[in-house]
Chain A
Amino acid sequence: MKSIYPMQHSSFLKSALRMFALASLLACAAGCGGSSMHPVIGHVHFTDGSPLKTGRVMLDGGDANTSSWGLIHPDGSFQVGTLDVDDGVPAGVYRVYIENAMSLPPDNWGDRDFTPKLLIHPKFMDPEQSGLSFEVPGKSTPWEIVVEKPPKSR
């Protein structure tokens, strides 16, 4: 008698545990499986290979018609996010352009006047003329963006 009761308890517990595990698995499949964000990382450089050190890579469009962007780091790298800095973008085809690619005052510039200069050709700042487009997903390697220097004035 005494030896049977604990066995029954433990088998009940075992089945309860199994049910719980199954339920949590199902809940996770429903809750975590819906993510459709795809990471986009890349590098911006000039035709001579030197990096664009500042600015913002903008991605407009996609299947969800969102606006995502990533800040360009001093080494030219960027990571695009939509609602956070690194959450990626929804799938789709994006128009890509670059904003705020203006020169920065050097460190310890003080409070003297500083006039920022445009670092890239203005066409890369226009989503219609940049000629850049990303299809996401569809590429596992980092994106490479090659920009041109601004045209010499006169």
Chain B
Amino acid sequence: MFFLRFACRHFDTSTSQSISYVVPGRRRNSLPAATGFTLVELLVVIAIIGVLIGLLLPAVQQAREAARRMQCVNNMKQIGLAVHSFHDTFNGLPPATTGNTGVTLWAVLMPYMEQGNVYGQLDIEAPGGVDACTNASHIGASAAAAASANYSVLRNTVIGGYLCPSRRSAAEGKNSKGVPVGDYAIVIAGTEKWQFWKNPSSQLQALRVAQTSDDKNLIAISNSPVTDAIDNPNGGWRPRDTLARITDGTSNTMIVGEKHITAGFLGLCCRADRGPNGSDGYLYWNRSNGPGGYGEYWVAGSVNYGLARSPNEGVGLSVNSSPALGSWHPGACNFLFADGSVQALAVNVNSNVLISLGGANEGNVVSLP
């Protein structure tokens, strides 16, 4: 109040001074006409503008998130097209992984994601990386050399289409170990949440492990010293299933979803036990003993543990007891279905519905409205 009074007085004196200076002697006859706006009028206008901006800004932010979600859906749609292109080329669904030590779906789909140049440099039958289990004494010298060559190519291959813009940009597509990460997860509906390459007959989801003539790709290769190598375990792999296996209907079966990453653990990898920072690992390589983590959590997620409702889901819990699927979009998580469509599921979807949608041929047919 004092400030206002002071301001008005100041205004008056300055006006009278300026008038008396320009037209001396007329001060008494003409009123000091209010040629400008008063301070209060200006304040009111500024306040109105402020309120309008305050109303508008959240709407702008929501529009930006809606655009990012749309781009995220589009990425999944492209993955769906890639899966169908693969099916047309090889007469079978792309594998979730080529084997225990093999590369994942995300490397197999590269030629159909406009990454043919990278794919051309790979030996797709070899592992995607090197560790204690993919050296010459375990998988043979030539496969180990090919794995090493694959790793040097793949570790620099960040694909924007595998990242959800609501979560991160392509510039942030590598984790703390310096290897590419992804935001989408292969839907797993088997009873096992980890080691989904093992025992394919127990796996109910659409995308299963690849097939080889001798099933060497299903053998658990452990860290321990071995006497004789399982030579090139994923050599000669081919698709295990066709779309015909999806008897629940391709529109009722999810194949890829959004991977849940607990807030605060984004881009962090990896830990020997199964804390939440195990899930943002290496995108192209399925290996339980990958660069210090657990391969399945990097590339896949089980429907048996529900959907994460917010980025805070799973704080303080093992990844074995918290949801593996979930998005950072508010209230919904997008899923790619086997028919190529992408649909959003509410985060509080009934767990039986989620499990039924994950299974390809278990007989529980659930249609989304």
From A54, A58, A84, B310 is in contact (CB under 8 Å) with A84
What is the interface size of chain B, counting residues whose CB is below 8 A from a CB of the partner?
43
Q: Give the shortest distance, in Å, between A152 (CB) and chain B (any CB).
A: 23
- B317 partner residues in chain A, CB cutoff 8 A: 71, 73-74
- A71 partner residues in chain B, CB cutoff 8 A: 313-314, 317, 321-322
* B1-17 interface code vs A (CB 8 A; 1 in, 0 out): 10011001100100000
* B292-327 interface code vs A (CB 8 A; 1 in, 0 out): 001000000000111001101110111011100000
Q: Give the shortest distance, in Å, between A40 (CB) and chain B (any CB).
A: 14
Q: How far is the CA of A105 from the CA of B193 in the complex (A)?
A: 12
- Docked-complex contact B312 and A84, CB < 8 angstroms: yes
Size range of the chain A interface in the assembly: 35 or more
- B12 partner residues in chain A, CB cutoff 8 A: 2
A72-95 CB contacts (< 8 Å) to partner B = 72-74, 81-86
Q: How far is the CA of A153 from the CA of B39 in the complex (A)?
A: 85
B22-48 CB contacts (< 8 Å) to partner A = 38-40, 43-44, 47
Judged by a CB distance under 8 angstroms, whether A16 is at the interface is yes
Describe B's contact surface by its main secondary structure: loop
Judged by a CB distance under 8 angstroms, whether B207 is at the interface is no
Task: Decide: A10 near B351, CB < 8 A? Known: A73-B316, A104-B320, A111-B220.
Answer: no
Binding site for A on B (CB under 8 A): 1, 4-5, 8-9, 12, 38-40, 43-44, 47, 194-195, 220, 222-223, 272-274, 288-289, 294, 304-306, 309-310, 312-314, 316-318, 320-322, 331, 347-351
A to B CB contacts below 8 Å, 18 in the list: A9-B38, A16-B44, A54-B321, A67-B349, A67-B350, A71-B317, A73-B317, A82-B309, A83-B348, A84-B310, A85-B310, A99-B306, A104-B274, A104-B320, A105-B320, A111-B222, A112-B222, A113-B195
